[in-house]
Amino acid sequence: MKKLFNLFLLMGVFVFAGCEDSVKETVTYNINEPVFMPAAQFRSSVKVSPIAHKIDNYGKICFYNGYLYISESEKGIHIVDNQHPDKPKVIGFIELLGNADLAIRNNMLYADSYIDLVWFDISNPALPVLKGRLENIFTTALPSVDNEFGIDYRLSYENAEKKGVIVGWKKVERTEDVDKFSGWGSGWGQPWWRGGVMLDGNFAASEKGGSTTGINGSMSRFTIYNDNLYSVINNTMNIFSLSGAAPVKAAENIYVGWNVETIFSYKTNMFMGTPTGMIIYSVADPLKPEFQSSIQHVFGCDPVVVEDDIAYVTIHSGNNCGQNSNELIIIDVKDVKKPKQIVSYTMTNPKGLGIDNGILFVCDDGLKIFNAKDPQTIMANKLAHYKGMDGYDVIPFEKVLMMIAADGLYQYMYYDANNISFLSKLEFGK
């Protein structure tokens, strides 16, 4: 919040100084310029290998028919044979530039590739087959930035279709003359405050209406409801129909809120996490989502999961949201038009979470597991706490908990809630 205050103060200085005579001064700053790849080269770079690749970084996860699919941010998707959770094995890799999210339905895997949506037939999980691509569908998608500096939007979007696809960033130092009082130079989107961005046993998939649908972790921006794929990127929701041989864009993009980060499907509603709170949209009419309500919390990044009309939300510090709160928030969503916060608990640094039949799993100081039958007594009903890893996200399914962490895939068995046991660890970086 202090950073936001400084930003508004700076903007205020610019506004009130507007009546002064123009005075130039020289400013030197760092900024990220886009790195382009020719579109044809980008779209021909997809490769599928039946050989295990080293997992260097964790990302989004999806479980389907005994296999776990792990996105390695902006690089591709690792395929893990998890039919026997005590002996998981990496069996393949889909090289897919710009991938962040994925979802699976009826043996078809759908994934983003920066600005495109691509899909694969995974009837043979060890050897997926690329089936198609919708080009330029995620128009605002950009690679992540690994430093604290802003990006040059002018170079990123001006005549972008002629330059290719942005696949990375190059940090450069610039020196230019700016109006001392307005703070604006010759370009736009240069220093961070001008760019509009603040950077600081055997398993089986679930059965739904005769279709098999993968189970995503709580950090996902993709979800499937009936015959439609919903994705949230930045401020918009995209809807794709999956009823035909290939996905098609089924509706106009819908503005849903500032920087939506996660989406979770429950009953006929979509629960979305944003830096400022949880947003609920009804998809009773699947192609015309309708806003129901929002509930605000302190400024922070958050995933959401829901069970038995109770939503569980985490917010954590140490991220681009620029705040210091670490909480588990529990919300009554029986009436989606009037959600009510039940209670909040201070946590260490919570991230992804999952809920299964009253057992709550939270990636916090490792992995914490609670009996959540009574939201008011969760902290007093901790079932287990596994430390020593940096947990990111979880999928609980058929009494096995799959947790993706910075150093590997951890799995635990919870057939007996009072005797939760460690099953296996698949180490990354090897």
In SS3 terms, 347-382 reads as CCCCCCEEEECCEEEECCCCEEEEECCCHHHHHHHE
User: Residue 162: which H helix or E strand, with range?
Assistant: helix 160-163
Residue 316 DSSP symbol:
B
Decide: 257 and 244 in contact? Cβ < 8 Å: no
pLDDT at 430: 64
Decide: 380 and 371 in contact? Cβ < 8 Å: no
Q: Which residue has the higher pLDDT, 2 or 267?
A: 267
Q: Under 8 Å CB-to-CB from 322, ≥6 apart: which residues?
A: 1, 3, 4, 198, 200, 299
Q: Which residue has the higher pLDDT, 191 or 221?
A: 221
Rounded to two decimals, the pTM is 0.86
Rounded alpha-carbon distances, angstroms, from residue 111 to 2, 98, 231, 357:
37, 10, 10, 29
Which has the minimum average pLDDT: 111-125, 172-186, 232-246, 394-408? 172-186
Predicted confidence (pLDDT) at residue 82 exceeds the cutoff of 90: yes
- For 106-138, the pLDDT digits (tens) are 999 999 999 999 999 999 999 999 999 999 999
pLDDT at 180: 54
- For 324-383, the pLDDT digits (tens) are 789 999 999 999 999 999 999 999 999 999 999 999 999 999 999 999 999 999 999 999
Rounded CA-CA distance 383/109 in Å is: 35
Considering all CA atoms of the chain, what is the largest pairwise distance in Å, rounded to the nearest integer?
75
What is the average pLDDT across 16-28?
63
Average pLDDT of the chain, as a whole number: 86
- Residue 354 identity: G
pLDDT at 301: 57
Distance of CA 262 to the CA centre of its chain: 5
- For 131-160, the pLDDT digits (tens) are 999 999 998 889 989 888 999 988 988 877
Rounded CA-CA distance 152/75 in Å is: 23
Q: Under 8 Å CB-to-CB from 264, ≥6 apart: which residues?
A: 218, 220, 223, 270, 271, 272, 303, 304, 305, 306
- For 291-337, the pLDDT digits (tens) are 999 988 555 557 999 999 999 999 987 655 445 789 999 999 999 99
Count, residues in the chain: 430
Rounded CA-CA distance 281/266 in Å is: 10
- For 158-191, the pLDDT digits (tens) are 877 789 999 999 999 999 876 654 444 444 333 3
Predicted confidence (pLDDT) at residue 6 exceeds the cutoff of 80: no
